[in-house]
Structure 1
Amino acid sequence: MSQDRICVGAFAGAFGVHGEVRLKSFCTAPEAIATYGPLWTEDGARSFTLEISRPIANGFAARVSGISTREQADALRGTRLFVDRSALPSLPDDEFYHADLIGLSVYDTGGRKLGSVAAVHNHGAGDILEITGPGLDAPVLLPFTLAAVPTVDLGAGRIVADPPEGVFGE
C-alpha cells in the first residue's frame, strides 16, 4: 500500500435491499469521508465515489458508484477505504495522522531506545500508542498525551517519550 494514501473508513455490509451500504468513517468529522474524492481499496485496484444517504447506528447509509443490489453491497463488507493524502486537510503542528506515527522509533528523555510504534488505538478516552521492540516481553501501551509524549519529530522518524513510572517495567 502506498504511503500516499490514508485509511479513512470501511464498508460494513449492505443496508436495506436497494444497494445501499453501511459505511464506517474513521475521520474526525465522520461525514467528511464523502468529500475527499475517490476512495480506493487497499491494493488500489478499485475506486469508489459515494454519497451519504443518512446517519445510522455506528456510521452512515451510503450509495456507492456501481453498486445497485443488496448482494453487491454485501460483497463489499470489510473493504477498507483509502484516500489520497493530498485530498486530506493539513493538520496543526500538534496533530498527526495515525498512519504517520506507526513505525516511528520511541526514545526516552535520556536518549535510550524503548521500541517502535506498532499501532495507534483509541477506545474513546484518547489515543494510545502500542510500543513493541527487543527487550519488551509484551507490547507496551503508552498514552498519547503531551505529558507522556512531549516530542514527535516526523522528519527524524522519532518520538521522545516521558512515560509514567512503571509503564516500561522500571
Structure 2
Amino acid sequence: MNDTQRRILLGRVVGAFGVRGQVKIESWTEPREAIFRYQPWTLRDPQGAERELQGARGRETGKHLVATFPGIEDRDAVEALRGTEIFVPRSALPPPKAGEFYWVDLEGLRVLNVDGADYGTVSHLFSTGANDVLVARGERERLIPFVEPDFVKSVDFDAGTILVDWDADF
C-alpha cells in the first residue's frame, strides 16, 4: 500500500472530560499535542464504523489531551466515542529527520543479524519506557531492543532490511 492510502493510528478517545463535551485523547505523536496538526482525521469506532473529522482542537493536561470536536457538545456524545481510534494518511506526516524513523515505516522490513541469519519481518514496535522494542516474526517471534548502534546496526529502506546484532538463541 502506498503512502497516500496507508493510514497511521495516531491516538484514541479514552473518555469524557467534564460535562460540556470535551474529549480525553491518548496521543502517540511526539510531542503529544502534535496530533492536532494532522487533520482531517478518520475516526473508527469500536464497531468499525468510520467517519471523517476536521477541526478538532485541544490542549495538554497531565496524562491526556483534552479536545473539542465539532458537533460534540455533551458528555453522553463523548462517551459514545470511547475507544474510537484516530487515523491519518501516512502522507499527512512530515518526513522524518535524518536518523529518525516512523515505526510504521519499519513494519514489514526484513530483519537480518550480523551473521546472516534471517529473523523474519518487523511486525511492530512498542515502547517499554527504557527503550523501544522491535518485534520480528519469522520461524519464531523475537523481541529486539531498538537501541542504535548497540543492537540495531543499520536500517536500509532501499534494500528493505534492518541489520541487527542479536543472538539467534534469544
TM more than 0.5: yes
1:112 maps to which residue? 117
Shift of 1:70: 0.9
Task: Output the amino acid matched with 2:153.
Answer: P
1:103 maps to which residue? 108
Task: Output the amino acid matched with 2:152.
Answer: V
**CA RMSD in angstroms, aligned pairs only:** 2.1
2:22 maps to which residue? 20
In 2: Cα distance, 1:105 partner to 1:41 partner: 31
2:84 maps to which residue? 79
User: Aligned with 1:95: secondary structure?
Assistant: coil
| Residues paired across the two proteins, number | 163
Task: Output the amino acid matched with 1:51.
Answer: R
In 2: Cα distance, 1:29 partner to 1:87 partner: 16
Cα pair 2:14 2:82 within 8 Å, conserved: yes
User: Aligned with 2:111: secondary structure?
Assistant: strand
> Is the aligned partner of 1:124 residue 2:129?
yes
> Is the aligned partner of 1:70 residue 2:75?
yes
Output the TM-score relative to the length of structure 1: 0.85
Cα pair 2:43 2:51 within 8 Å, conserved: yes
2:146 maps to which residue? 144
Shift of 1:3: 4.8
In 1: Cα distance, 2:93 partner to 2:159 partner: 22
2:57 maps to which residue? 51
Instruction: Give the share of equivalent positions with the same residue, in percent.
Output: 38
1:87/1:130 Cα in 2 relative to 1: closer, same or farther (>3 Å)? same
Cα pair 2:42 2:51 within 8 Å, conserved: yes
Structure 2 portions without partners, runs of 5+: none
Shift of 1:45: 2.9
User: Aligned with 1:41: secondary structure?
Assistant: strand
In 2: Cα distance, 1:100 partner to 1:64 partner: 29
User: Aligned with 2:152: secondary structure?
Assistant: coil
Counterparts of 1:89-100 in structure 2 under 5 Å? 89-100=94-105
Shift of 1:57: 3.1
In 2: Cα distance, 1:48 partner to 1:57 partner: 25
Cα pair 2:119 2:142 within 8 Å, conserved: no
